[in-house]
Amino acid sequence: MANAIEASRLDVGYGGRQAAVKVLSGLDLSVEAGSFLSILGPSGCGKSTLLRVVADLLDPLGGTIRVLGDTPHAVRSRRDVGFVFQDSTLLPWRTVRDNVRLPLGVGQGSLTRKIEDRSDELLELMGLAGFGERLPHQLSGGQRQRVAIARALLGQPKLLLMDEPFGALDEITRDRLNDELLNLWRRTGTTILFVTHSIAEAAYLGERVVVLAANPGRLIRDLDLRPLKQDGNRCTREDPAIVAAMAELRTALEQAS
Ligand SMILES: Nc1ncnc2c1ncn2[C@@H]1O[C@H](COP(=O)(O)OP(=O)(O)O)[C@@H](O)[C@H]1O
Ligand SMILES: [Mg+2]
């Protein structure tokens, strides 16, 4: 299968080419289309920076990156990429449905693909049928994140970038949303890049987990979990093989910090 991401010798920093410090240095990363990749790493190692490059929010200083076989810019203008961040910003004065519909009204001109209003279908998919007329403050934190996911899915993106999307939620809610996300991924075949601080979440969700180290950001571990999981990336959180993989990831993270 083709690769959704193909990064080679990627150098990334802030402040243009004069940047004194590289955040990512010589990063090679290929991600198979349709796969679920978890990204772990200590705070400040460049996980969000990597997603920014993929999303065309930041240009690399060197190296090459192809996203869905194209430049990040082309992919962004076709709206083939969706994002969900930790503190998803819903507009407090807009209803839940209108928050999901936000991308419909954004950026005419530079964008080359019109998207269809599937807000009701997506609210239902995210377990929020009947919540469309509510305002964000009338929802729980977990429900608000589901609205953010629905919004990210509105354009049926081929690639979904998630940056610690469930980091602010309690553990029970997080576990539930993890299962919903996996179901969604199985149904849609979207490639997912999922950044998290949680070793358990990374191992439960990912078909593959990569660990980045800091200063400069680089890949120090690349673990394929597919041999440990059932078809459809299924496992239990208590599975001894998964628990062993988590221990391995913990060791890598300790070395990375
Ligand atoms: N806009 C910015 N300008 C300058 N430096 C930045 C900017 N954003 C992030 N950095 C720096 O880049 C490094 C990586 O940041 P980031 O990608 O946010 O890390 P992570 O998401 O892994 O915690 C950090 O040292 C951070 O201070
Ligand atoms: Mg970050």
Atom 24 (ligand 1) nearest CA:
44
Extract the tokens encoding 183.
């179901």
Q: What is the 3-state secondary structure (H, E, C) of the chain?
A: CCEEEEEEEEEEECCHHHCCCEEEEEEEEEEECCCEEEEECCCCCCHHHHHHHHCCCCCCCEEEEEECCECHHHHHHCCCEEEEECCCCCCCCCCHHHHHCHHHHCCCCCCCCCCCCCHHHHHHHCCCCCCCCCCHHHCCHHHHHHHHHHHHHCCCCCEEEEECCCCCCCHHHHHHHHHHHHHHHHHHCCEEEEECCCHHHHHHHCCEEEEEECCCEEEEEEEECHHHCECCCECCCCCHHHHHHHHHHHHHHHHHC
Q: Ligand 1 in contact with 57 (CB < 6 A)?
A: no
Residue 83 binned pLDDT confidence (cut-offs 50, 70, 90): very high
- The alpha carbon of 49 and the centre of ligand 1 are apart by a number of angstroms equal to 6
Atom nearest to 212 CA in ligand 1: 22
Q: Ligand 1 in contact with 43 (CB < 6 A)?
A: yes
pLDDT of residue 85: 83
Q: Which of 80, 156, 160, 148 is nearest to 116 (CA)?
A: 156
Asked if the model's pLDDT at residue 15 lies above 90, the reply is no
Residues with CB under 5 A from ligand 2 (ion): 48
Handedness of CA 138, 142, 148, 153 (dihedral sign): negative
Is it true that the peptide bond before 216 is cis, omega within 30 degrees of 0? yes
Extract the tokens encoding 254.
């300790």
Asked if the model's pLDDT at residue 107 lies above 70, the reply is no
The pTM assigned to this predicted structure is 0.93
Question: Which tens digit of pLDDT belongs to each residue from 194-245?
Answer: 999 999 999 999 999 999 999 889 999 999 999 999 999 999 999 999 999 9
Q: Ligand 1 in contact with 16 (CB < 6 A)?
A: no
Asked if the model's pLDDT at residue 140 lies above 80, the reply is yes
pLDDT of residue 110: 65
- The alpha carbon of 29 and the centre of ligand 2 are apart by a number of angstroms equal to 18
Atom 18 (ligand 1) nearest CA:
48
Question: Which tens digit of pLDDT belongs to each residue from 143-191?
Answer: 999 999 999 989 889 999 999 999 888 898 889 899 999 999 999 999 9
pLDDT of residue 29: 98
Which of 10, 22, 23, 38 is the best mutation target for the ligand 1 pocket, counting ligand atoms within 8 Å of the beta carbon and taking the most? 23
pLDDT of residue 198: 94
Average pLDDT, the chain: 92
Cβ-Cβ contacts under 8 Å for 167 (sequence gap 6 or more): 86, 196, 197, 198
Select the more confidently predicted residue: 146 or 105: 146
Amino acid at 34: G
Q: Ligand 1 in contact with 93 (CB < 6 A)?
A: no
| Domain positions in the chain | 1-80+161-169+179-257, 88-156
Pairing between strand 218-224 and 81-85?
unpaired
Atom 10 (ligand 1) nearest CA:
14
Which of the ligands is closest to the CA of residue 217?
1
Asked if the model's pLDDT at residue 19 lies above 90, the reply is no
Q: Which residues pair with 161 in a beta bridge?
A: 83, 193
Q: Superfamily assignment of 1-80+161-169+179-257 in CATH?
A: P-loop containing nucleotide triphosphate hydrolases (3.40.50.300)
Q: Ligand 1 in contact with 19 (CB < 6 A)?
A: no
